[in-house]
Structure 1
Amino acid sequence: MMRRVLVVGAAGFIGQHLVRALAAAGASVVAQVHQRQAAFGHGVQIVTADTAVETLLQDCAAVAWLASGTTPAGSASDPRLELSRNLGPLLRLLQALQAQPDCHLLYVSSGGTLYGDVDHSASESLAMHPRSYYAAGKAAAEHFIAAYTQQYSGAATVLRPSNVYGPGQTLHGGFGVIPAAMSCLRDGKPMPLWGDGESLRDYLYIDDFIAACMAALRQPPQHSMRVFNVCSEQATSLVQLLALIEQVTRHTLQRDQRPARAVDLHRVLLDGTRIRQELCWAPRTSLHDGLQRTWQWLNATPP
């Protein structure tokens, strides 16, 4: 197992799950948090966002970058947010990594926004077609990471997950249809829906995505950047998803139908062949079971 690992964005939905998985696997974890508080138990060192990244990287075998200061809707009218909140901090990390290229960088990108509308499952070789500033920021980050690995012989793994969901995911800036729908059901409020509901997405349970992160960290690349889609490879329309949520929760969701938005994609489908072959990873949780566990967690959590 990897030794000392720095997790940037540790207080977020994915970050909290990854920190706990790393600690359970015996890694020494440095968890960097921004504003939000998080409790991880023994063996995890918690540091704040104002701590110099050069200091945090000392003796680290890997760094997992999960931090994101925007959502697709949040930066839709202000592209500068992608620079100040996401790209700027990442570039400072890359500059620090130049002095220790053997430190493995794990960067969580986005499979759900990078490829644009596709009529088939997108493989990693498909050109990126970002439609939102958020997606453009992810694409730019990947290009900077690739340039870093080529100039300084660094090691980096980029994961492009589909729509990750599960216990611990809160409604943040309207980001995440599953927590949005379940929150509306719990609170008895109508859910705003844009478009005709026929848009297709791939949904991935959090435990399966964390397993992919752990597999990537266990097998770092040799002085290069590799890219993996991480997905269930199951296309689900919004109409189908909401029907399944109603079945799991035994509640009827009130719908507030609205016109489609320019940033919304109709088909986001990913090909997960590469990660299955190279990291021997595959999802294990069905959408029904994942939704059921998520609903149980939400009902046990105070509003």
Structure 2
Amino acid sequence: MTKVLLIGGGGFIGSRLALRCLAEGFSVRVADVQLPVADQVASRDIEYMAGDFSETSDLDGMLKGVDIVVHLVHRAMLLGLDSSMLPEIERNVVPAIKLFDRCLEYPGLRLLFVSSGGTVYGDPDERRPLAEHAALRPISVYGTSKSMIEKALGLYVAQRGLRALVVRPGNAYGPGQVPFKGQGLIPTVMASALQGKPVTIYGDGTAIRDYIHVEDIAEGIVAAMTAGRNGEAYNIGTGRGVSINSLINDHIRPLVVAQGLDIDLRYVESRGVDVSYNILGTAKLTNECGFTAKTQLEDGIAETWNWILRGYSSVGQ
């Protein structure tokens, strides 16, 4: 049986991916900095391991006996203009390159790097879905470090013979995404409405994003892992975009109002690190790997709202 190692698999995307891999018949090992508590164990059929993949001794334990490695880790997602690139490189780029080096010591091992379709492309010259061959021109520290890791991985594929590929997911959302963490607008807007907190919108709310349900991302990763070509990059998106204003006012606000609540939006100056347009072209993943996102935005938002209602209705949580 093929064994998959999910480095950083205890997170939002990783936990869904672990279950999807199980459903597809893979053996799954999840490695993260700490073991999950009992109610966070996704399945008893998943092997959990605590460790730091930047430490060689921990990494060797993680890699032992696996066939595929999925790199999901990103420490401290930084978006502010005052964020420094040097600690970002030390925190995320250097450990990734060390991982690539170590993977070469395990013949036959394949690696999949989870990049960021929402940030690596930057602001496109034309407002149309972005194909994988588009230039990588990130405007944030986070997107820059992701693109640096991609470029380094491409070098390892071309010169060192590493078997690897890249996926670039759009803006993930869905049940299980914790609000107020600086990432995940949808759950943050919902929980803020429940708790009477204002929501800060950077810019005028016209920025367009490709929001994709976490279950679709997990399925897209497995599709690329199974049928993707060595050295290639694959977008995982819906091919459809929605503005922040439309997302909130047309999709989230009706659910909130039905509960007798409202959303307090506070518009502030743009941060200068957020792209104004991002819709991912999906033809490559569809044509080569047979994947198409299934979850409609309105259905995914309703599902997320029900999850938020159960866990974040009390002020102060």
The CA distance in 1 between the partners of 2:140 and 2:82, in whole Å, is 7
Paired letter, 1:9? G
* 2:89 alignment counterpart: 83
Q: Secondary structure of the residue that 1:300 maps to in structure 2?
A: helix
Ranges of 4+ aligned residues in structure 1 off by more than 3 Å: none
Q: Which residue in 2 is equivalent to 1:123?
A: 131
**C-alpha contact 2:169 2:236 (8 A) present in aligned 1:** yes
Report the CA distance shift for 1:75/1:218 in structure 2 as closer, same or farther (over 3 A): farther
Are 1:46 and 2:48 counterparts?
yes
Instruction: Render the CA deviation track for 1:224-262: whole Å, top value 9, x for unaligned.
Output: 311011111111001100011112333421011111111
Query: Which one of the candidate residues 299, 305, 309 is aligned to 1:299?
Result: 309
Q: What is residue 255 of structure 2 aligned with on the other side?
A: 248
Residue 172 of structure 1 and its aligned partner are, at CA, apart by 5.5
Structure 1 unpaired stretches of 5+: none
- Equivalent AA in structure 1 for residue 277 of structure 2: R
Shift of 1:105: 0.8
Deviations 1:261-301 (A, max 9, x none): 11121111221111111011101111100000011111122
Residues 2-40 of structure 1 show CA distances to partners (whole Å, capped at 9, x for unaligned) of 611110001110011111222233322111112473413
Alignment match of 1:275 (pick from 282, 285, 294): 285
Q: Quick one: distance in 2 between partners of 1:90 and 1:158?
A: 13
Displacement of 1:70 in angstroms is: 2.2
Residues 193-232 of structure 1: per-residue CA shift (max 9 Å, x gap)? 11111111110011111111111222253xx311011111
| Mapped contact 2:227–2:288 kept (Cα < 8 A) | no
Residue of 159, 167, 181 corresponding to 2:175? 167
Find the aligned partners of 1:173 and 1:206 in 2 and give their Cα distance.
17
Single out whichever of 29-38 and 74-83 deviates more from structure 2.
Answer: 74-83
Q: Which sections of structure 2, spanning at least 5 residues, go unmatched? A: none
The alignment's C-alpha RMSD in Å is 1.8
**Percentage of matched positions with identical amino acids:** 30
> TM-score, normalising length from structure 1?
0.93
In the TM superposition, residue 101 of structure 1 has moved relative to its aligned partner by: 4.7
C-alpha distance in 1 between matches for 2:228 and 2:282? 19
- The one-letter code matched in structure 2 to 1:175 is Q
Question: In the alignment, does 2:222 pair up with 1:214?
Answer: yes
Aligned length: 300
The amino acid of 1:253's aligned partner reads I
Aligned equivalent of 2:298 = 288
